[in-house]
Structure 1
Amino acid sequence: MNRIFKRITDRIAIAGVFALVAYAVVYAAGARINTTKSIPIGLYWTSNAPVEKGAYVMFCPPHDRVFVAAKERGYIGAGFCPGEYGYMMKRILATKNDIVVINEEGVRVNGVLLPHSAQRKVDAAGRMLPRFHVDRYMLGQFDLLLMSDVSDASFDSRYFGPINKSQIKAVIRPIITL
């Protein structure tokens, strides 16, 4: 019985090591998996596509108080970005020269209210969410509005405002999504 158990344990360990190596190789080649509600759940591939309106992107959050609190609350995982943040994935919904309004009603870009953009007052645990408010702001050359267009529960620019283009690490293309 002991030998059978050892064999099974050894095979499981070998399979686990193989799975980790395979994942590392696929990750290094550009595969990324999204499991959050920010963009459609699924498999994405990094690309050299331009950072432009409509693109899905992966970015490192800047190290400031909003993101420190977001990490403490579990909105952002730990990772390899400065501040030990994990990458975030969003869609670019506004860029240079777009006029943005952000308030409790939601986010407007060039006068159009974005779907799923109303600010929530509290998160799922009942904690107050940060407030970002702007009556009228024209995005500058390096400003990006990063939002979810599929979920009203995403932690995105409605809570932290525009992100500098320098924070973008890659444009990601959907391969298989739900």
Structure 2
Amino acid sequence: MSRRWRTALAGIRVLGKAGFILLVTLFVLLVAGTLAGARFNLTRSLPVGLYWAVEQPIERKAYVRFCPPREGAFALAMERGYLSDWGGECPHGFPLIKRVAAIAGDSVEASDANVRVNGDPLPLSRFHDTDGQGRPMPRPRRDRKQLRASELWVMSDTNDRSFDSRYFGPIDRAWVKEVITPVLTWGPGGMLSGRAPHSS
């Protein structure tokens, strides 16, 4: 083997070790950040980016992470692949992240045209009869409902195709793992997009 090849192989080994060390370092930082409260969103249901878990009450417009049960519309969503049903920190996969649109005592009226909270229409809340593959979407009861103390209505304010309370109804507050707040976000409604999310 020529000296040139030996030098090249030695360089590759050095780069390989450096790359391995970098990957391990990034993994450690990711784990440490997650344990400290860092949360990453890659879905279109809210602005993509970095969020932080905070000790705050669940109020309107708050972002929450919650673990849905494997039943009803959620079971259908897992079967279709909208939601992951394995891995993650929930009994049935990863948490969902949504924005709270209505809380206990609020009046919610869902129709094909939109969702209204206390009479005010929410943006991006039109009901879609089918998903992107033409399959019928679940349709909970459409009458006006006053939320009980244990209920939350959650929506997306950035994606009108989000799988949210339009299709599974109100969620139970007990499902909520934590409230999160944006730190650095981009895309529709993100901090770096120049456009704030729609108000709820």
| Residue deviations 1:74-100 (CA, integer Å, cap 9, x gap) | 2223422122x2111111110111111
Question: What SS does the aligned partner of 1:67 have?
Answer: helix
Structure 2: unaligned runs, 5 residues or longer: 1-7, 187-200
**Which one is further off, 122-131 or 41-50?**
122-131
Equivalent of 1:176 in 160, 180, 184: 184
Preserved CA contact (<8 Å) 1:43 1:175? yes
Preserved CA contact (<8 Å) 1:103 1:132? no
Aligned residues: 177
Once residues 92 and 122 of structure 1 are traced to their aligned partners in structure 2, the CA distance between those partners, rounded to angstroms, is: 24
* RMSD (Å), alpha carbons: 1.4
Q: Could you list the structure 1 runs, at least 4 aligned residues long, displaced by more than 4 angstroms after superposition.
A: none
Structure 1: unaligned runs, 5 residues or longer: none
Once residues 2 and 122 of structure 1 are traced to their aligned partners in structure 2, the CA distance between those partners, rounded to angstroms, is: 56
Structure showing greater radius of gyration is 2
1:82 aligned to 2:91? yes
1:145 aligned to 2:153? yes
What amino acid does structure 1 have at the position aligned with 2:182?
Answer: P
**Which one is further off, 73-82 or 93-102?**
73-82
Equivalent of 1:17 in 7, 24, 27: 24
| Residue deviations 1:8-46 (CA, integer Å, cap 9, x gap) | 222212211111111000111001111111111221100
| Residue deviations 1:110-167 (CA, integer Å, cap 9, x gap) | 1111110011122222222211232111100010001112210111000000000001
Equivalent of 1:127 in 121, 131, 135: 135
What TM-score do you get using the length of structure 1 for normalisation?
0.93
What TM-score do you get using the length of structure 2 for normalisation?
0.83
Q: Shift of residue 62 of structure 1?
A: 2.0
Identity %: 42
Equivalent of 1:60 in 60, 67, 73: 67
1:42 aligned to 2:44? no
What amino acid does structure 2 have at the position aligned with 1:114?
Answer: L
1:97 corresponding residue in structure 2 = 105
What amino acid does structure 2 have at the position aligned with 1:65?
Answer: G
| Residue deviations 1:43-68 (CA, integer Å, cap 9, x gap) | 11000000111211111112213212
